[in-house]
């Protein structure tokens, strides 16, 4: 196992005493050797197994020399867009270019290309015609089969074909990458590596593929969106490592098949501990210091990853396709060892910022059968109601938090990852809620009800609004008992499939009753490989093929977003228009239940001012301007 940073240039490689490398890892992110970054984990796993790995972070995709830094690797290139899909990294939901990139030194935007894995792989192919290329990371993982691409507004082929790569290691790749490396190292040609779980390959015939479920061809998917909805749901039902089937997607124009093998088996707790015990440097490469470092490290530097996977099953989340629904956890001992490393850091101020994962308060599989039989294909653990087989307990998490809090040098342990409030409500014991409010909230607890309309919540795969309202009441009562003045900050989403103006107004009324305006609004973002994105593209819910209303018009989306921030004066006209269209002009007025007040109008040289009594006082525009001038200047 290599100590220090892995090589990022030929000089580093030679300093290691190497004349070549086994793998070159090309990443769209800057090199940050921290276990929150995919490139750090995969390169450390390979290094631990004796492979020499060089890293080329953010190569110049316009210059093929940039990927020739280490020469031709002995076994292959590993290519990833980084910790985010490059298109999400580059563009807002309104398709406007973002100004900063947290995964680049100095936060500079533009250091990676759009559709990064495709561009990087094609760049490599210009130089190395036959060297194996293995794709990984979330961009490749979620684009592994035909997928709807929001930015081009069309259905795209598997990224394996457009990139010219040989294999995709999808999901969490610790197992599959080692099996690929061992197969290549043993002399197996990359075109013959068609059998590894957690991988996607391409074949010209199905002679070497057994027990595959044949999906509709890409041509059939393009011809009829309903074919895509059916195909997507087949994929969704085969994301489990124990029950998932092998899938084959035909491409008749290319006369080949893209084959998805079943997902890799989840890591045991011992294996998870090993992954996080590698000698990470836990910061960005020192070459970035001159540029101000890599901003993304700030959020994770003093946080602990407690688990992987999520059985929450939200429709708009891609975790089902990437990490899966089976919980994988680290041991208390592993987390305490890492916490002690944090405490030794010169910048540590006594605060552990987070102990969590996709969902902080999940610390065990939802039921024991998952570890042998897998998750239920067509049922959710928490939606629409908690499953009767759901094992609800926060006991292990409470003990873990108490151990961390008791470490010398630790002042406070916060929880910033998402809390599943429906899981909290399903727990008959209030011990965790008490512990949470007492010791682990920094004045505000962020939760994600997402919406208040049950119509929309059903499409989101979220619990009924009544569950959230019950949690709000319980949270307030607990804080009162503890003598604390702590608040809830709800994450809310506009324009999700199923949300019309009626539902958007319902959400605005809820915000009115809360008495605050959210500073940020998440407009639904159609990212690859989610149920919600499938609904957005096809207009049907793939789970039952029923039609779904989808707000696509940019102006309607702007109205829905404005309703959430109806108090902002800039949104007045959009809110007024939305209320008119929704037939809710009863919300325009001076009563407490109203969202906005009538505004003054200018008509025929007179300035009309609507007073609270509804009377109209007429004054000349000149007089109004005089009064304003006097008020502003004091003259």
Annotated binding site: 310, 314, 317
Candidates 381, 361, 370, 382; CA nearest to 307 is: 361
C-alpha torsion angle, residues 515, 519, 524, 529 (rounded to 10): -120
In this structure, what token pair is assigned to residue 524? 């639904």
Instruction: Strands of 362-461 (E only): list them.
Output: 412-413, 444-450
Biggest CA pair distance of the chain? 91
- Alpha carbon distance 332, 353 (integer Å): 17
Q: Which residue has the tokens 């994962």?
A: 357
The pairing of beta strand 154-156 with beta strand 212-214: unpaired
- Alpha carbon distance 354, 404 (integer Å): 11
- Alpha carbon distance 92, 214 (integer Å): 35
- Alpha carbon distance 465, 471 (integer Å): 10
Q: Assess contact for 278 and 163: CB atoms under 8 A.
A: no
Q: Assess contact for 421 and 494: CB atoms under 8 A.
A: no
In this structure, what token pair is assigned to residue 170? 């999808």
Binding residues for [4Fe-4S] cluster: 310, 314, 317
- Alpha carbon distance 367, 386 (integer Å): 12
- Alpha carbon distance 483, 485 (integer Å): 7
In this structure, what token pair is assigned to residue 441? 């909230």
**Continuous segment of H or E residues that includes residue 182:** helix 174-185
- Distance, C-alpha 30 to centroid of its chain: 19
First and final CA of the chain: distance in angstroms?
77
The pairing of beta strand 53-57 with beta strand 76-80: unpaired
- Alpha carbon distance 31, 557 (integer Å): 37
In sequence order, the 6+-apart residues with CB closer than 8 A to the CB of 356 are: 303, 304, 305, 306, 307, 415, 416, 417, 418
Q: Assess contact for 311 and 375: CB atoms under 8 A.
A: yes
**Continuous segment of H or E residues that includes residue 270:** helix 269-276
């Amino acid at each position: 196992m290599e100590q220090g940073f892995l090589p990022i240039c030929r000089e580093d490689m030679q300093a290691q005493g190497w004349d070549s490398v086994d793998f070159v890892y090309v990443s769209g992110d800057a090199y940050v050797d921290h276990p929150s970054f995919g490139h750090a984990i995969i390169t450390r796993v390979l290094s631990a197994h004796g492979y020499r790995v060089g890293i080329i972070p953010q190569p110049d995709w316009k210059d093929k020399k940039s990927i020739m830094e280490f020469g031709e690797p002995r076994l292959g290139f590993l290519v990833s867009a980084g910790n985010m899909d490059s298109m999400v990294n580059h563009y807002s939901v309104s398709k406007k270019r973002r100004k900063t990139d947290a995964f680049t030194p100095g936060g500079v935007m533009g250091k990676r290309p759009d559709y990064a894995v495709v561009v990087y792989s094609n760049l490599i192919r210009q130089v190395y015609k036959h060297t194996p290329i293995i794709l990984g990371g979330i961009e490749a993982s979620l684009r592994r089969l035909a997928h709807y691409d929001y930015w081009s507004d069309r259905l795209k082929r598997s990224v394996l074909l457009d990139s010219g790569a040989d294999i995709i290691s999808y999901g969490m790749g610790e197992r599959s990458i080692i099996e690929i490396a061992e197969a290549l190292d043993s002399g197996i040609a990359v075109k013959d590596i068609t059998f590894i779980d957690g991988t996607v390959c391409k074949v010209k015939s199905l002679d070497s593929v057994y027990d595959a479920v044949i999906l509709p061809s890409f041509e059939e998917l393009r011809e009829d969106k309903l074919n895509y909805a059916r195909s997507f749901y087949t994929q969704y039902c085969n994301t489990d490592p124990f029950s998932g089937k092998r899938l084959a997607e035909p491409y008749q124009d290319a006369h080949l098949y893209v084959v998805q093998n079943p997902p890799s088996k989840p890591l045991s707790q011992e294996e998870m501990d090993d992954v996080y015990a590698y000698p990470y440097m836990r910061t960005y490469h020192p070459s970035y210091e001159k540029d101000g470092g890599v901003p993304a490290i700030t959020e994770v530097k003093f946080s602990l990853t407690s688990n992987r996977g999520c059985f929450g099953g939200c429709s708009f989340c891609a975790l089902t396709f990437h990490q899966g629904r089976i919980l994988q956890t680290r041991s208390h001992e592993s987390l305490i060892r890492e916490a002690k490393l944090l405490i030794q850091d010169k910048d540590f101020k006594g605060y552990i910022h987070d102990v969590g994962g996709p969902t902080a308060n999940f610390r065990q599989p939802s039921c024991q059968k998952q570890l042998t039989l897998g998750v239920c294909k067509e049922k959710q653990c928490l939606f629409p109601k908690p499953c009767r087989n759901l094992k609800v307990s926060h006991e292990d998490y409470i003990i873990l938090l108490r151990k961390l809090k008791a470490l010398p040098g630790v002042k406070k342990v916060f929880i910033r990852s998402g809390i599943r409030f429906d899981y909290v409500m399903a727990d008959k014991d209030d011990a965790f809620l008490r512990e949470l409010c007492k010791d682990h909230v920094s004045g505000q607890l962020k939760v994600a009800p997402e919406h208040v309309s049950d119509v929309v919540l059903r499409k989101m795969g979220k619990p009924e609004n009544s569950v959230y309202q019950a949690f709000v009441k319980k949270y307030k009562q607990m804080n009162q008992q503890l003598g604390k003045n702590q608040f809830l900050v709800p994450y809310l989403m506009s324009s999700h499939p199923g949300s019309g103006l009626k539902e958007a107004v319902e959400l605005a009324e809820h915000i009115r009753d809360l008495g605050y305006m959210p500073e940020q609004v998440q407009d639904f973002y159609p990212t690859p490989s989610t149920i919600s994105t499938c609904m957005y593209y096809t207009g049907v819910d793939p789970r039952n093929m029923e039609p779904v209303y989808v707000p696509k018009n940019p102006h309607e989306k702007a109205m829905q977003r404005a309703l959430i921030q109806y108090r902002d004066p800039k949104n007045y006209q959009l809110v007024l228009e939305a209320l008119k269209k929704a037939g809710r002009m009863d919300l325009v007025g001076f009563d407490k239940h109203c969202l906005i007040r009538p505004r003054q109008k200018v008509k025929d040289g007179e300035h009309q001012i609507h007073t609270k009594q509804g009377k109209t006082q007429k004054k000349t525009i000149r007089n109004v301007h005089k009064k304003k001038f006097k008020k502003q200047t004091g003259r």
